[in-house]
Each structure stands twice: as structure tokens, then as C-alpha cells.
Amino acid sequence: MATTDTPITLPEAPKVGMVSLGCPKALVDSERILTRLRADGYAMSADYAGADVVLVNTCGFLDSAKEESLAAIGEAMAENGRVIVTGCMGNEAEAIRARFPQVLAVTGAHQYEAVVEAVHEAAPPSMGPYIDLIPQAEPGDVKLTPRHYSYLKISEGCNHACAFCIIPSLRGKLASRRIDAVLREAEKLVAAGTRELLVISQDTSAYGVDVRHETRTWKGREVRTHMTDLARELGQLKTPDGHTPWVRLHYVYPYPHVDAVIPLMAEGLVTPYLDIPFQHASPNVLRAMKRPANEAKVLERIRAWREICPDLAIRSSFVVGFPGETEADFQYLLDWLDEAQLDRVGAFRFEPVAGAAANDLLDPVPEAVKEERYARIMEKTEAISAAKLAAKVGRTIRVIIDEVGEPDEDGDVGATGRSQADAPEIDGAVYLRNVPESLKPGDFVDVEIEEADAHDLFGVIAS
């Protein structure tokens, strides 16, 4: 006797929305949370209306960032009403609940299990043998960045006690990931389409200090939990089509062992780019910030690095208007920048942060003086950048494509990419004209530079 199979009706997966604020490290946290939730059978919602619950990953580094986080929570509450708060500002649960008593849960930074548990309580997952496996429609984990580049977080926390910073109180002391786990994640990302790895942490140079640079086995050989070993191993990776992915190092403190990474850049194993948080140059201000005051030695090392790797690009950020900063201190910084000739520079006006030691320092700098100094440092660094980029006109440089436009009325297609001197979202871009329509994000191309301004380059694919 014939039988008729009854179709199995799968329950609709609960949907999670995500608002992710703050730095790339927070973005990695968001990716990990969403990856875990997707493995538990949740779907992602692109808007508030379609979400069963909304996660707001907050930033709590500056008071202005906290206000932005509170505004995001308020918007999510108004648009959806079912909100879970996580991230750095999650450490201030009382302040969040005082403003928004109806939030479902509040967790702190990188508390992945607590976030997932809160989501399970707010919107129970649809468990079953057909839907409790990680979906395989797209290889790799959930990504909030474009497919061709990925952030690779190697550690959490920081052992420094900078006077202006509260990150150690938010994220704790340095806790390095196992180097074999980091390399396995990097290998997986590259196999899934990543063409650029952006290595991030609070202090990349300190990677492995907390575990005494323990040794692990990787691909049959012993590797130390150390920035140099990590950089060397990442430089051995290959994309499916045989290219060497770019490996970009962020948040690198200029410890002596950084010198050993520069030859790897000269060999083409690591992208010739260092993101170094100098913060200032005046010895007086650096001491007040509780940061190393060896700015003269740093200048010598920068010169030595560039002798080994002439294409090395250095980006940094500086704080102006720190308590006690005199006009002489600020002029010292400007003169130091003339010597250092950094490629990319960001500047910030000092802003008191609740819980930071700098709040108790005497001699606050008036807001008008901060603004005037900010304008001067930006004028200085813009002039340096313009000169450096002008020197690239006529050269042919390697570029990774981020976006390809639609044909214009004449049928011409433009594209936006970045050189090795440009990290995504924080540095400049390379704008291309008359590219083939077959070009796609993640492609590497050689570009002849035709023009430059203070921040960006313009060119055409070299013939």
C-alpha cells in the first residue's frame, strides 16, 4: 500500500538585530556573537521591525561615545522595545538601566556566553534536528565587514595604565589567544575569501607576554605566542588562487622586538604598515600620560625601519590639550612630526573620561586652546600627507579593490581601492577610472598614479 510522506514544517527562526558601535575590536566581538547565535538557529534581521530582539554593542571609551551608545539604545528601544545591551559600556549597567529600565539584559565587554544566554531567554531558539546545525550556505562565520578583508583579534585587555584611558578597567589585563587558534582562524578566513587580515588587539606588541610566549605546534613546527612569530606565520598563508594576503598590524607599541618585523615587510610577507599609538611626543606630556617618554629613540628607529623597508607607512594618533600641555609641549610635538614624517595621522582633543586618572590632573587646557591646537596639528599633518602622496604620482603601486561602481552615461566604470599604506575606514583611498566591468572587490591590481591630494590618490590600472 502506497504511503504519503507528510512534509515537515520547520518553525520560523527567531531573528536578531545588531547595532555595533566603537572600534574594530568591538566589531569582532559582534561577529563572534552573531556567529554563535547563527549556530544556535537564529536568523539575522536588517532592521528593527523584523527583529525579535535587538543587540546594541556599546562603546564606553569616551563620554561622547557613551552618549552615542545611549542614543543607540534609545533608538532601539523606541523602534523595537526588546533590547539587550553589551560591550564596553555594559560595565555601567546601573546608568543604562536608570535611563532605560526596560532593557532586557546588560552584559559587559566580550562576555559572549552571557549575551547568548540573554538572547536565548528573550527569544528562545527553534531547536530541532533540521535546524540546530551551523548553516553552510556561505563559508566562514558571520561577518560585518566586506568579504575580502577581516579583523583578526589576537588578545583582549591591556597591561598599561595610561592616565587618559579606562580600557583595562573595561576589558581587563592582557589575555592572549593561543597562537595555533589564531592561525587556524586566519587560515579559515583566507580560505573563505579574505584577502586582507587586519591584526588587532589593545596592544599587539605585547602578544604572548601574559603566557610567557608559550610555544604551540602549528603545521608540524613549533611557534611562539609572540608578535614576530605570528607575523611570520601569517605571511605564509595563501589565498585559493595563490596570492599572499595582505597582513596589516594595528595597535603596535614600539617595543624593541618590533624591529624584527620590519624585514618581514621588506620581504613581502607582511604589509609595510604600522599603526602605532604614539599619543604625543613631548616628554613632559608623555610622563603625565604615564606612557614611555623615549621620543628621540623612536625617531632613530623610524629612520632605521625606513632604511630596511622604504615603503613602510606609519599611522598614528595624537591627543592635544592634555592637562598640563603647554605651548612649548605642543610645539615640541609639531617639530617631532616634522622629523617623523608619519604617513597617516589622526588627532583628538583631550576629553575627560569617567574613571580615568587624568581627570585629577591640574592645569586643564581651555577648550578654545584645544581647538586652536587641533587645527594646527591637522594643518601640519595634512601638509605632510599631501607631500608624501604627491611623491607617488607617476609610480605604479599595488591596490586592493573595495568597491566597483556602475557605468556612467559614457559607459565608463570607476572603482575605489586602497594601497598598502591605507587601512579600511581610517586612512585614504585610491580612486580608479575606466576599470573593466569584470573587476570586483578583493581583486589586487597594479595602478599607475596620475594625481594626488592631501589624503587620496587617483589613477588607472597599469597596462
As annotated, the binding site includes 23, 59, 88, 158, 162, 165
Q: Assign 233 to helix, strand or coil.
A: helix
Q: How far apart are CA 270 and CA 22, in angstroms?
A: 26
How far is Cα of residue 147 from the mean position of the Cα atoms in its chain? 15
C-alpha cell at position 175: 589575555
Cα distances (Å, whole numbers) of residue 185 to 111, 154, 180, 190, 191:
20, 10, 9, 9, 10
Q: How far apart are CA 360 and CA 232, in angstroms?
A: 43
Provide the annotated binding site for [4Fe-4S] cluster.
Answer: 23, 59, 88, 158, 162, 165
Identify the DSSP state of 279: B
Q: How far apart are CA 356 and CA 167, in angstroms?
A: 9
The pairing of beta strand 155-156 with beta strand 175-176: antiparallel
Cα distances (Å, whole numbers) of residue 4 to 7, 9, 45, 123, 129:
9, 15, 36, 34, 21
> How many CB atoms within 10 Å of residue 112?
15
Q: Amino acid identity of 42?
A: Y
Q: Assign 330 to helix, strand or coil.
A: helix
Identify the DSSP state of 109: T
Phi, psi for 20 (deg, rounded to 5):
-115, 120
C-alpha cell at position 394: 607617476
Residue 388, H or E segment: helix 367-390
Q: How far apart are CA 48 and CA 46, in angstroms?
A: 7
Longest dimension (CA), the chain: 96
Identify the DSSP state of 337: H
Q: How far apart are CA 301 and CA 258, in angstroms?
A: 10
C-alpha cell at position 189: 578566513
Q: How far apart are CA 350 and CA 323, in angstroms?
A: 8
Residue 150, H or E segment: strand 149-153
Q: What DSSP string runs through 429-448?
A: -EEE-S--TT--TT-EEEEE
Q: How far apart are CA 376 and CA 365, in angstroms?
A: 15
